[in-house]
Amino acid sequence: MRFGEIVIVTMLVVSSLSTADAQTVIGSTLNVEIANSTLYRIGFCTLAEQKPTKLPAQSSVISFGRSMGIGDIVSVNGQAVKGVAIEVFNGGALSTTPAPGQSIADINLNPMTVFWELTFLNLDGTRIGTVDIAGSGGQWTVTGGTGPFFEARGTWSAAQDPVSGERTTSDCEDPSYRRINADAGGNKRHGVLYLVPATPPQILATPNGPAITHSSDFSLVTASKPALAGEILSAFATGLGPIRGVATGQPFPSNPPAAVISPVQVMVNGNPAEIIGAVGYPGSVDGYQVNFRVPSDTAKGPATIQVSAAWITGTPVSIAVQ
């Protein structure tokens, strides 16, 4: 099966595609696993070099605390990926009666601002997208992102592994040795992203049902012409994100069709289907064709179909399976 052939034939069949009415944008949970996590405390390396007019050399006080954490993203929702998690701390102590190194103020406060940047990569190293996060006091909010995470909102929480959490060192250590210097337990962290996308993945609708076609004659899957277990189908969708080699907002090419950058998954009755391919619909800027195989053990009757991209799930639709 070649994408070009399917797209050309089905263009007439699904010429009146539309999004489902009253679509509800829902959030998705991304469980992000991080390894080799190290926190570098900035400025501690140079205390012994400070002059008498500054803080005494033996002091462990840093007037304005700064740290940078770096870790490797290794999986999302159990799927192996690559990437990097960056965590930046900035803060300092305020006091009405300051000790050396504290800032005088009319309030006693220890403000600390934290910024996270999560960059996700496919296993071949191609960039999926980035999620930007900011907050303080352990409360972090998604402030934006790139790729499939563009204009997403949500929350982030990150916990240390109880056995081998983030390793702490200073900027004396050469960061090129971060993975080599990791503890035996791997210095793991577990983060949870809850994302509400601006445009979620969504299977399109036609007047006769979801825009899902048979591979044999490219007709729509309907109650009178149901899908078969093990059959290859094509779903037409929106919201799957950037296409390889195509700038955002530019029409998708037809020869050859360009693949979706993000990991794409189709669930059939909650079970993962084999993805044959996911490409941009020629001439569209937010239309996609996803070829998938219905699991061979799918029961007869109504079947729930749900598409996801970059682990962000869309609203399920229903088709008939014979």
93: Cα within 13 Å, side-chain hemisphere: 11
pLDDT, one tens digit per residue, over 301-313 is: 999 999 999 999 9
Q: Are residues 147 and 231 in the same domain?
A: no
- Residue 199 dihedral angles phi and psi, to the nearest 5°: -135, 100
pLDDT tens digit string along 153-197? Answer: 999 999 999 999 999 988 888 899 999 999 999 999 999 999 999
**pTM to 2 decimal places:** 0.85
Instruction: Please indicate, yes or no, whether residues 97 and 218 belong to a single structural domain of this protein.
Output: no
Q: Which of 213, 219, 215, 217 is nearest to 232 (CA)?
A: 215
Q: Are 223 and 272 within one domain?
A: yes
- Whether 233 and 148 share a structural domain: no
Query: How far, CA to CA in Å, does 144 sit from each of 224, 254, 262, 278?
Result: 45, 31, 17, 25
- What's the CATH code of the domain at 129? 2.40.480
> What H or E segment, with its residue span, contains residue 133?
strand 127-136
37 lies in the same domain as 183? yes
Residue 50 banded pLDDT, cuts 50, 70, 90? very low
Check whether residue 187 and residue 246 sit in a common domain: no
Residue 184: give the domain boundaries: 28-196
Paired with 66 in beta bridges are 42, 90
Contact indicator for 200, 239 with CB cutoff of 8 Å: yes
Q: Are residues 50 and 175 both part of a single domain?
A: yes
Strands 301-309 and 317-321: antiparallel
Q: How far apart are CA 136 and CA 242, in angstroms?
A: 32
Do residues 113 and 58 share a domain? Answer: yes
Q: Which residue has the tokens 């009755």?
A: 269
* Together in a domain, 212 and 121: no
Contact in structure between 240 and 309 (CB atoms under 8 Å) = yes
Predicted pLDDT of residue 25: 64
Distances (CA, A) of 256 to 9, 113, 128, 245: 15, 47, 21, 12
- CA–CA dist 302, 313 (Å, integer): 20
How wide is the angle at C-alpha 134 spanned by C-alphas 31 and 46, nearest 5°? 105
* Of 48 and 118, the one with more pLDDT: 118
Identify residue 109 by its one-letter amino acid code: L
Mean pLDDT of 210-221: 93
CATH number of the domain that residue 307 is part of: 2.60.40.10
Same domain, 228 and 163: no
Domain count, the chain: 2
How far is C-alpha 152 from the geometric centre of its chain's CA atoms?
A: 10
Q: What are phi and psi of 8, to 5 degrees?
A: -65, -45
Answer yes or no: do 17 and 80 share one domain: no
Q: What is the pLDDT of residue 150?
A: 94
Last residue of a domain, one of 136, 161, 196: 196
